[in-house]
């Protein structure tokens, strides 16, 4: 991993003036702030001065925002941006020109060596994430960011045709000209600084801090999210004005996080999360719930619950209100913060997350419930009574004569080996990958096929220019999995759903492409590739998909893999304790299995 970034304080002189309104109300303010966002992202990650690379960009943004917001015209905006950035990036130019005006190519000056940024994903922004850094190193994730020193021949090969200069429209008449390659003198050039207080941590109660949080978050995704087609479909740049408005209206950390999560939810990517940063850098994981809710037939239904909460909260019971508020209102608010492949899936995930959200606000709540006869009644729920996990059956078990169920979320290879005598004689096998499987499943799948299995491989984006211009991908091809004896010839079905994503979706795609069995259930989560993490303003932890899958079949990022057999559970299934997907898979397999 890269060393922690040394922070070089760069202070921006501001003209004394009355503080602006905390809300970016006017189109002019939004236009100005959008230009600042683009400028800072391009310079922060791609201007290769060694001192600029160590700046506290939280400080730069917080001190720049008030002056930028006040600029009344594009000409004034250009002057303001130039005065702010010139001390921090001396070779950067801000120009006021017609949109179509060409930029003459500037040849590189003669020098023995040149310097430029090269990002393998994002290796920066890890300050304050010690445990995350260790975990990523142990996982072998090749994220790294560094300024390279190379001779002209190498630079010419990596930046052909004058690409060593990047030009971007900040508005329709304000243009950024950013040198991507510097000489040794320019690389070492010290910055002009003034003394003053550095912003140590972005605070949700201050207007400029709120806007800076959104700006830093937006830029990480803009420059380092590898599925560019998904980013384009999400209209990422068009989301900025609303995100700035929502952030400026916040007063608490919870509200600011809500605004950031609404922005991030535009990406149908389950790896995308933002949470308060802890001392270790890890997120706080909600407790397991023995009481679980599901969105079924347009209602919030108790899917499972411990016996101690029966009969009031027996499976199949409908929740209509929470503390007097219609539960649909709560879900509408929550689902807008959840990345999902469709509104239906967002509502399903919001329903599952509802208990954790409510428990974070108070130790108890009052539920209005509806039983099977449609009678309404109230129940005071203490959340501590709903925690825990229900009794789990063995990971391999016979669920019908000759038919075996394998719970991939708990299945170890040792369990599989012990059950092999039964599995070799089985009439049918059902593998449940609706929750994240163990990595041992990749050792088990070669027992299902007489042909070698070839999983998809992942690759890291290599970036030397902003906004993924001329990006390449680097990664090793996945190794083929040879068949393993004994082969299990019984027909198979794999249960899938919205929680089948990331590694689980790697398995589902492998099953689908190699025709190892039927996919039964609901569409998968539409998210795969290795995660990356960043600290935002030393206050928040952001995760996203940092490496992309190089598909051998059809891509599914943002859409998911459709099952061969779609199964939608009903309230009646839940009330009777039936696993609808499992029941349908057994029905299909038993009808196809030899007798």
Spatial distance between the Cα atoms of 444 and 461, rounded to a whole number of angstroms: 31
pLDDT of 192: 80
User: Whole-prediction pTM value?
Assistant: 0.92
Identify whether the C-beta of residue 553 lies closer than 8 Å to the C-beta of residue 512: yes
pLDDT of 584: 98
pLDDT of 487: 96
pLDDT of 81: 97
DSSP conformational letter for 209: H
pLDDT per residue as tens, the chain (595 positions): 332 323 222 223 333 333 344 455 689 999 999 999 999 999 999 999 999 999 999 999 999 999 999 999 999 999 999 999 999 999 999 999 876 677 777 788 899 999 999 999 999 999 989 888 888 888 888 899 999 999 999 999 999 887 899 999 999 999 999 999 999 999 999 998 655 678 889 998 899 999 999 999 999 999 999 999 999 999 999 999 999 999 988 989 999 999 999 999 999 999 999 999 887 766 667 778 999 999 999 999 999 999 999 999 999 999 999 999 999 999 999 999 999 999 999 999 999 999 999 998 999 999 999 988 889 999 999 999 999 876 678 999 999 999 999 999 999 999 999 999 999 999 999 999 999 999 999 999 999 999 999 988 999 999 999 999 999 999 977 888 999 999 999 999 999 999 999 999 999 999 999 999 999 999 999 999 999 999 999 899 999 999 999 988 778 999 999 999 999 999 999 999 999 999 999 999 998 766 5
pLDDT of 202: 92
pLDDT of 301: 97
Identify whether the C-beta of residue 436 lies closer than 8 Å to the C-beta of residue 409: yes
SS (H, E, C) 326-362: EHHHHHHHHHCCCCCCCHHHHHHHHHHHHHHHHHCCC
pLDDT of 116: 98
Checking DSSP bridges between strand 518-521 and strand 492-496, what pairing results, if any? parallel
pLDDT of 323: 95
């Amino acid at each position: 991993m890269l060393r922690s970034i040394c922070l070089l304080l760069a202070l921006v002189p501001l003209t004394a003036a009355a503080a602006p309104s905390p809300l970016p109300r006017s189109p002019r303010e939004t236009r100005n702030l959008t230009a600042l966002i683009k400028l800072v992202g391009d310079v922060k990650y791609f201007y290769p001065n060694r001192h600029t690379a160590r700046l506290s960009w939280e400080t730069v943004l917080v001190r720049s925002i008030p002056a930028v917001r006040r600029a009344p015209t594009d000409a004034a905006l250009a002057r303001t941006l130039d005065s702010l950035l010139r001390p921090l990036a001396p070779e950067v130019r801000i120009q006021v020109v017609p949109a179509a005006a060409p930029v003459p190519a500037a040849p590189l000056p003669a020098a023995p060596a040149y310097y430029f940024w090269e990002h393998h994903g994002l290796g920066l922004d890890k300050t304050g994430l010690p445990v995350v850094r260790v975990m990523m190193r142990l996982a072998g994730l090749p994220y790294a960011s560094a300024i390279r020193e190379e001779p002209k021949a190498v630079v010419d090969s990596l930046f052909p045709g004058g690409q060593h200069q990047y030009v971007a429209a900040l508005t329709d008449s304000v243009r950024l000209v950013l040198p991507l390659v510097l000489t040794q003198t320019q690389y070492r050039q010290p910055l002009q600084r003034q003394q003053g207080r550095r912003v140590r941590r972005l605070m949700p109660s201050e207007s400029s801090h709120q806007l800076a949080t959104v700006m830093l978050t937006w830029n990480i995704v803009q420059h380092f999210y590898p599925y560019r087609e998904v980013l384009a479909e999400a209209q990422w740049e068009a989301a900025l004005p609303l995100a700035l408005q929502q952030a400026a209206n916040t007063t608490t950390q919870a509200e600011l996080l809500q605004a950031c999560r609404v922005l991030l939810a535009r990406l149908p990517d389950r790896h995308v999360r933002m949470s308060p940063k802890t001392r270790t850098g890890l997120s706080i994981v909600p407790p397991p719930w023995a009481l679980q809710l599901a969105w079924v037939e347009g209602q919030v239904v108790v899917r499972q619950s411990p016996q101690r909460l029966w009969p009031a909260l027996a499976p199949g019971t409908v929740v209509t209100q929470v503390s007097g508020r219609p539960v649909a209102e709560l879900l509408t608010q929550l689902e807008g913060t959840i990345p999902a492949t469709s509104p239906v899936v967002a509502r399903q995930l919001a329903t599952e997350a509802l208990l954790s959200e409510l428990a974070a606000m108070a130790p108890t709540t009052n539920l209005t419930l509806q039983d099977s006869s449609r009678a309404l009644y109230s129940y005071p729920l203490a959340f501590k009574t709903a925690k825990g996990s229900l009794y789990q059956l063995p990971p391999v078990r016979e669920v019908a004569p000759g038919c075996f169920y394998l719970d991939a979320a708990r299945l170890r290879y040792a369990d599989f080996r012990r059950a092999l005598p039964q599995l070799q004689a089985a009439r049918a096998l059902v593998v449940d990958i609706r929750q994240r499987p163990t990595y041992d499943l990749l050792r088990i799948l070669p027992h299902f096929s007489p042909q070698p299995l070839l999983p998809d491989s992942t690759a890291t984006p290599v970036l030397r220019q902003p906004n993924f211009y001329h990006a390449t991908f680097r990664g090793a091809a996945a190794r083929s999995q040879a068949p393993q004896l004994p082969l299990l010839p019984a027909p198979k079905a794999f249960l899938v759903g919205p929680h089948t994503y990331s590694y689980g979706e790697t398995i589902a795609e492998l099953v689908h492409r190699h025709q190892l069995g039927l996919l039964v259930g609901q569409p998968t989560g539409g998210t795969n590739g290795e995660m990356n993490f960043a600290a935002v303003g030393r206050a928040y932890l952001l995760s996203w998909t940092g490496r992309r899958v190089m598909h051998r079949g059809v891509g599914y990022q943002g859409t998911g893999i459709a099952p061969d057999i779609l199964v939608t559970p009903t309230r009646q299934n839940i009330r009777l304790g039936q696993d609808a997907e499992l029941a349908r898979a057994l029905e299909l397999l038993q009808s196809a299995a030899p007798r």
